[in-house]
A and B are shown apart, each in its own frame.
Chain A
Amino acid sequence: MYIAATRRADQAGGRTAVGTSRGFTRNVPANVLALGTVSLVTDISAEMVTAVLPTYLVLTLGLSPLQYGLLDGGWFGVTAMVRLLGGQIADRTRRRKLVAGTGYGLSAVCKLGLPLVGSSVAGLGLVLAADRTGKGLRTAPRDALITLSTPTPHLGRAFGVHRAMDTVGAFLGPLAAFAVLWTTHDAYDAVFVVSFCVATFGVLLLMLYVRDHREPAPPRRSASLRAAFGLLRLAPFRRTCVAAALLGLLTVGDTFVYLVLQRGFDIPLRYFPLLPLGTAGAFLLLAVPIGRLADRVGRFRVFLGGHLALLAAYLVAAAPTGGHASGTASRWAVLLLVLGLQGLFYAATDGVLMAAAGPLLPVHLRTSGLALLQTGQAGARLLSSVVFGAAWTLWGAGPALYAMGAGLAGCLLLARRLLPSAPLDPEVTG
């Protein structure tokens, strides 16, 4: 099935822009819509598990919050390696779909692993690590396929559509999980089995409807690990990586911002889980229009603008801890503003960065390059949460946010000088 599908993809190529649909998906290639659907379905599955996992681990298995935290963290190095390796394999074999599919498949199987390992902490750790390995494997090849399937002028919109579809899945996941819990009287294993079925459906969709982009092999065997890191010799790409990592270092994790908001605004605890939904909602609404905007006015410009929105979010969120919170209505307005700004930040950076970086990379190393960029950014963000956690403890939430904001402002100025503004090189757009 896989080979048959890729043969057709060879003939069709990835660049046939399908212009039959209107509005939301206008000028978005069928392959991107297919990848978006796969992401949507996969995210339903993933978020089903995310929604119930803390309760499952702590209540049903009796894990303490600390054990849960240990299970949770510490896998970054593994996923980073896997991501780079996956990018390499995808580029070498030019089988991006196969590598992405392996990642999706691995994550699907892990959903079944959860009930099977029972309460073994080591077993749970392995399953969660494998799940994240799957996630690490699939992200870069998937994004590379999006860039290879879309004409460069429409990349921002294509990523916007993909990320918006992904977010729809994230919204539906928890609802699906609680529907299963409700109908089965809290049978967590049923949630995992249903999640597995949903994820498997995602893999099936990928196999049947996503087309690989298998360009002819490059003249020399140039897709080596050395060549991948050699991408950093390409000045525009290197500068993109440095800028993304710098900004990532000053990006405060969402959870921290929500905690600051909860304390600063005295949000009733039962509404706490709603805060991420606010950010995701804004992201969902803004991803496509901001992606289109990025296509028109320049992706790096929008990427920087997104960080300005984040800076504004910090300042507003930190303000009430400085003592000038007023009436209830205005507090809610400020709250919505912060969540909206965070959503705007994600809409202007997540897919937009990939859309901006994709064309900077030669086709035969595109997956490796995107993996490198994503890993650098993720590593920087991981470090930032350690730094921010320490700053919060030392100075308190408000001052810590102001400090991160000041750093972010400085890095924005730096990044503005760093980021390539030159028009895209037609040689490497493939």
Chain B
Amino acid sequence: MKRALALALGLLVLVGVAVGYSTFAADRNEEATVERRPLDLTARGRLVFVDTNRAGGHRTVADTGLDTPAAARVDSGLRCERFAVGAGTGVCLQTRGGPLPGTDALIVDANTNVKRRIELAGTPSRARVSASGNMVSWTVFVTGESYNKTGFSTWTGILDTRTDYTLINIEAIPLTVDGKPYHSADVNYWGVTFAADDNRFYATVGTKGHTYLVEGDYANWEAHTIRDGVECPSLSPDGTRIAFKKRSGKSTWRLHVLDLATMRETPLAEHANVDDQAAWLDDNTVMYGRDRNVYAVPADGTGAPRLLVTKGASPTLVR
């Protein structure tokens, strides 16, 4: 009897704590300064990004001007973990809850209305849209079923919006490594970036401990490696250079820029660990997420990083 009483009492306290804290967490105030309305993804000069302002809650797509890091932002209310935009086409990686969790890739129009939903597994990682808005790519990664087990696998997809043809996982693309045809079960692709012709693309392929920069050809469906030690490439608007992250420690990366004509790489003036697929603000400036903020740094290795957006991630400048 005493035991049952103690158990009931304990249960009461614990349920109280659980419900109380959840209620508090659910009601946490959102930023009062945020204005909510659909974005115009064609408004030139606006910086579109994922707002990471909420303490534990939803991360939504927002945009802002470039004047100050804390400039007023407009929030679309569209929930995304990763977002990218090109010429009025956006891709939003949204986590899906429920008994069968995963990620959806949402294709949105210029007013952030969802046009298409592609169901994927895993956790959102990278998202990109070509400058024309025609080609869309995303990467999710899938871990083992339990955090007591190691290992992950990336799944990268490409969608051609002109035909709606969707490849959920591009890893079967015929690949040559150092000029030789290559087959391995552990091939993983991530971080696609498209060239202006909407056909050529760059990406990372990881296999046997190497992370190669690959150049892919969408129409001919082939890919070949061009350099080792390159991750998460991002092609400059003029198509001459690639910003990428390069391993600087066991689990740290530093941003570099690779000149495709000379194949010379330049470390950027950001010395902190950056684990992001960079984006180009203009032909001379690279921007990236770090510590839940967006920073910009000159692409030639000079200068110093500057804060571009407080509490943001996944930046794209609308051109």
Contact = CB atoms under 8 A, between A and B. Distances in A.
Interface stretch (B108-116, B148-156, B295-303): B148-156
Contacts of B292: 62
Q: Pick from B81, B121, B150, B151 the residue with the most CB of A within 10 Å.
A: B150
Contacts of B149: 72, 253-255
B158 to A, nearest CB: 14
Contact of B21 (A188, A194, A204, A385): A194
Q: Pick from B81, B154, B186 the residue with the most CB of A within 10 Å.
A: B186
A24 interface: no
Contacts of B21: 189-190, 193-194
A204 B10 contact: yes
Interface string A376-402: 000000000100010011001100000
Interface in B4-50: 6-7, 10-11, 14-15, 17-18, 21-22, 25-26, 28
A58 interface: yes
A65 B154 CA distance: 9
A269 B121 contact: yes
Given A185-B26, A190-B56, A201 B142 contact: no
A128 interface: yes
B147 interface: yes
B162 interface: no
B57 A186 contact: yes
A1 B40 CA distance: 64
B7 A205 contact: yes
B219 interface: no
B294 interface: no
B216 interface: no
Contacts of B150: 69, 72-73, 385
Nearest to B140: A269
A65 B95 contact: no
B10 to A, nearest CB: 4
Q: Pick from B95, B119, B123 the residue with the most CB of A within 10 Å.
A: B123
Given A70-B251, A182-B97, A259-B153, A62 B275 contact: yes
Contact of B25 (A55, A60, A190): A190
Nearest to A208: B3
B284 interface: no
Contacts of B185: 263, 392-393, 396-397
B22 A65 contact: no
B122 to A, nearest CB: 7
Contact of A55 (B18, B95, B119, B152): B95
Interface string A167-188: 0000000110010111111111
Interface string A290-314: 0000000000000000000000000
Interface string A259-284: 10001000011111111100000000
Interface in A237-254: 253-254
B69 interface: no
B14 A49 contact: no
Contacts of A85: none
A178 B289 CA distance: 28
A269 B120 contact: yes
A270 B18 contact: no
Nearest to A258: B145
B98 to A, nearest CB: 6
Interface in B67-123: 81, 95, 97-102, 119-123
Contacts of B154: 65
A184 B7 contact: no
B25 A184 contact: yes
Contacts of A132: 148
Interface residues of B, number: 64
Given A59-B124, A393-B184, A187 B7 contact: no
A392 B153 CA distance: 14
B280 interface: no
A209 interface: yes
A262 B141 CA distance: 14
Contacts of A263: 185
Contacts of A204: 6-7, 10-11, 14
B14 A200 contact: yes
Interface string B138-178: 00011111111111111100000000000011000000000
A392 B11 CA distance: 48
Nearest to B104: A270
A269 B122 contact: yes
A186 B17 contact: no
B28 A59 contact: no
B169 A186 contact: no
B22 A186 contact: no
Contacts of A392: 185-186
B188 to A, nearest CB: 10
Contact of A197 (B18, B25, B152, B168): B18
Contacts of B200: none
A430 interface: no
23 contacts: A64-B275, A65-B141, A68-B152, A70-B250, A72-B150, A175-B99, A185-B26, A186-B56, A186-B58, A187-B25, A198-B18, A201-B11, A204-B11, A208-B7, A253-B144, A254-B144, A268-B119, A269-B122, A269-B155, A270-B100, A270-B119, A271-B121, A393-B185
Interface of B: 3, 6-7, 10-11, 14-15, 17-18, 21-22, 25-26, 28, 55-59, 81, 95, 97-102, 119-125, 141-155, 168-169, 183-186, 208, 250-251, 253, 275, 289, 291-292, 313
A-B pairs, top 10 by smallest CB distance, nearest first, are A187-B25, A255-B144, A187-B56, A276-B145, A190-B25, A73-B150, A197-B18, A184-B26, A269-B121, A197-B14
Given A69-B152, A393-B208, 14 more contacts: A58-B125, A59-B123, A65-B125, A72-B148, A187-B25, A190-B56, A193-B22, A201-B14, A204-B14, A255-B145, A269-B119, A269-B120, A270-B102, A270-B120
